[in-house]
Structure formats: structure tokens, C-alpha cells
Structure 1
Amino acid sequence: MLVTASGLPASPVHAQQAPDVAEARVREFLQAQAAGLPGEVAIQVSPLDPNNQLPACAALEPFLPAGTRAWGRISVGVRCASPVNWTAYLQAQVSVVADYLIAARPLRAGQIVGPADIGQRRGDLTALADNTLTDGTQAMGHHTRFAVAAGTPIRGDMLRIPHAVRQGQNVPVVSVGPGFRVSSEGRAMNNAAPGESVRVRLSNGQVVTGVAQPGGTVEVSF
């Protein structure tokens, strides 16, 4: 646990921050952040130091550091503004267990993937590459870019997948950051398959970089 604070008294004049309360608030926050993720979500939160010298907070405010999402091993901030300003960071693990695609047999470079070429394995998606495929329709009918060994998780970059976003196309943009999720629209500046980087010019002229999602949405993390 990492703690930063301002205005802490030299002697403990306030009740100590209860570790179980901080852990519960972080868990609730991560459950809300993880809503809608595919598969079975499991959340583990490391407890606040039971010997902490933090004054009890009237209203704890969990947050994710910039550029962090509720996925895998992360640090989650807990901010207090009353009666004393302090910030602590708790370690957490967000696991998402679901089925993902694997090569059912060795695949040659340039081979067209068919139903007999793919299988499924169940595991934690957060321990795999972000562009690991989870649905057979994402792979079947596409050419392999290179040879793939049997049992290998199939990623989007292993296949020549049709573009999810095309240059000049108007695309929905979802901006995600600590405590917010905003939807807007922009114009794609390059082609991108699912999982690939794409630059988008928003209606206000700002250019942002995000990740193309299946269906043509672009997700931008702040």
C-alpha cells in the first residue's frame, strides 16, 4: 500500500481509517468498472494496512490512475478530502474468465481458417494478449499471416482480418478514463482491424488515438 497525505496531524486525533471499509469501497468501484466485460469477473483487493495512521474518512473516493482500466493486476487509488486530505493506493487483481480461440491443429502461413482449424480453451483473458479472439466468427474464413502452432491462442494480428474501421469513415468514439465514459463521433484517419491502433479526428478538430473494436467503435483510454 502506498500512501500520500497532506495536513496529517503529528499525533492521532482522529479515529483510524478502517481497512475493511476502504477495501469494500474499492471492490464496489471495480465491480462497476468491470460491468459488461465478457466472461466471469473475479476481483481480489489487497487490504489496507491494518496499522495505517490515516484518519477515518467521511467519504472515500476510489479512482483509477490515468491510462489504467479494470483489467489484470492494477493499482487503485482511494482519495479522502474530509476531515484530512490523503490518498492511498491498494493493489487489485481483476480476472475475466471466458472461452477464447486456439489453433486446433498446426496452421500454415496463408491458410484459410475453417471450423476444424479452431478450438476453444477457458482461461483468464487478462493474462492473454488484448487482441486474443473469443468468437469463431472472428477467425473463420480469414487467412493466416504466418504459421501457427497447435494450441496457440489465436490473436487478431495472426490473421488478415477485414478492417473494422476504414479511413475517412465516421466512427463512434468511446473515451474511457478514471470515473468517466463519454461517447462521441469522429472521422477515422487510417484503416484498422479489431485491436489495431487508429487515429480519429473529433468534431472539434482534436486528433486522438484509440483502438478499433469489432463493429467499428473506437475506444480511447485516458
Structure 2
Amino acid sequence: MPSLIPTLLPLRALHALLGCFVLAWAGSAAAQVSPQMAADLSAITQRWLDDALAQNAQALPLRMEVSVGTLDPRLTLAPCARVQPYLPAGSKLWGRTRLGLKCVEGAVAWNVFLPVTVRAFGPAWVLNGNVASGAVLTQADASQAEVDWAADAAPVVANESWVGQIAARPLVAGQALRQPMLKTPDLFRAGAQVRVVAQGPGFAVTSAGQALSAGGAGQIVRVRMDNGRIVSGIVNENGAIDVAL
């Protein structure tokens, strides 16, 4: 599939571009940058990005692409012997983010942020048509396509577990299926009598209780036991509540 955004840069091009940006900033006060300093800055920036992106994309079948923003043109930065790239607290190399660059060896300490957009293309399921809220999804409702997993913070549904699930809200044709869009069908209603299976090392005890809410497979629900005690457990595919002891 061709790139959805033709202006995206491959990672190696990003590394080279970041190296140029760092050199330009380091010499913005008319200081001469030596070839060795240029090589060191480029190597540090490339190594940091290689390591960080490898950790984020580890074990995922994704094609990573990155586009780079620009700094405020009004910035003036003093010469710097060593620039350290870093990811700001609360940020990650996913979707729209920013990369920090700070001078750690220079007459004047400075810290700037470079806007970066990381796109991670991989297989997902895309809706063929609109789906009403509460409708049960069937195999005909979506087809596989390559999408940008990082376009939204919510995880994509990459396997076929969506078949038989319920639309949690109105869904629109062309949307990639993501986990918050779906919910599992209820296996029982609030107030229903349910089977509770308490499991411990080498034993299991089955008893009855009253569900305090509706529940579907994989959901956590609370149950009032016959003695009045309230326990929490996970609904299994058979509608019983598994409680770990």
C-alpha cells in the first residue's frame, strides 16, 4: 500500500535531518562547529532514536514512519559541546509528540523541543459501512487493511475477536476498529443468579450469588454471595464468575 502521507520521512532520513538541526542550533551564535563535534552530535541523536523506537515497536509488525516539525524561528541558541536528546515526561514516540534536546556541556544551558509525528502502519480491521450503536458486528462488517495504529491512542483490534461483539457507539464506514468502540454481549443482567467459582492452589469451590451488574465475557463484576459478602471476579465464556483466592 502506498504511503498515506507523501511527505513522511523514513527513519534514516529523520536521523540525518535531526543531526542537521542540532548542528544548526549549536552554531546559531556564529560559533564554528568542528567535524568531530558534528559527527558526535549526529551519532548521539541517531543512537538515541534507534534505541527508543526499537523499544516502542518491539514485537509489533509495524512499518514506522516519522515526520518532523520545526522550531520557533525566533530561537537563538548558544554553542554547545554536547547535546542530549530525551523524551519529555509523559510523552512517548507514538502519534503526535515531541523530542527534547538540551545542552549539557556549554557556556549557556538551553533546552528546546522538536515536534515529531510517529506513524506506525500495520494490519487492522476497517469498517465497510456504518454500524448503529448496540448492533452485533458480523464478519461482513469489516475488512482488513493497513492503517496507522498511532493515529489514535486507543489500541487497534488486530485479530478477529471483534466478530460477535457489540458496537459501543455509532460507528462510521472507514474507521479502523479500536477497543473502546466495542463491548462484549451481556451474558446475564443485573440481579441474575450466577455461578461463582473460587479457585486456589489445587482446589476450586463453586457457589451461587447475585450479580450486582450486567456482565459479559472478560468483564469484572461484583457478586453478592448468599452470606451477604460481596466479591469481585471475571466473567468467563460460560457466564460463571471466576474468583481467585
Shorter-chain TM-score tier: 0.5 to 0.7
The answer as to whether partners of 1:106 and 1:149 remain within 8 angstroms in 2 is yes
Equivalenced residue count is 160
Counterpart pick for 1:89 among 100, 113, 116:
113
Report sequence identity in percent: 20
> Given the alignment of the two structures, is residue 57 of structure 1 paired with residue 78 of structure 2, yes or no?
no
Classify the secondary structure of the residue corresponding to 2:131. Answer: coil
**Computing the radius of gyration over CA atoms, which structure comes out larger, 1 or 2?**
2
Q: How much does 1:113 deviate? A: 2.0
2:154 counterpart residue number: 131
Per-residue CA deviation, residues 109-133 of structure 1 (Å, 9 max, x unaligned), is: 3332232222123232222x22252
> Given the alignment of the two structures, is residue 117 of structure 1 paired with residue 141 of structure 2, yes or no?
yes
- State the alpha-carbon separation in 1 of the partners of residues 69 and 50 from structure 2: 15
More relative contact order, 1 or 2 (CA 8 Å, 6+ apart): 1
Counterpart pick for 1:98 among 122, 127, 139:
122
Structure 1 runs not aligned, ≥5 long: 4-10, 169-189, 192-222
Q: How much does 1:62 deviate? A: 0.9
Q: Which structure has more helix as a fraction of its residues? A: 2
Structure 2 runs not aligned, ≥5 long: 1-21, 23-28, 185-215, 223-231, 234-245
Counterpart pick for 2:47 among 24, 28, 34:
28
Divergent runs of 4+, >3 A: 14-28, 44-49, 161-168
Question: Superposition RMSD on alpha carbons, in Å?
Answer: 4.1
Classify the secondary structure of the residue corresponding to 1:81. Answer: strand
1:148 counterpart residue number: 171
Relative distance call for 1:82 and 1:106 in structure 2 (3 A) is: closer
1:42 counterpart residue number: 65
> Given the alignment of the two structures, is residue 76 of structure 1 paired with residue 99 of structure 2, yes or no?
yes
- State the alpha-carbon separation in 1 of the partners of residues 98 and 49 from structure 2: 11
- Provide TM-score, normalisation by structure 1: 0.54
- State the alpha-carbon separation in 1 of the partners of residues 78 and 221 from structure 2: 52
- Provide TM-score, normalisation by structure 2: 0.50
Relative distance call for 1:147 and 1:102 in structure 2 (3 A) is: same
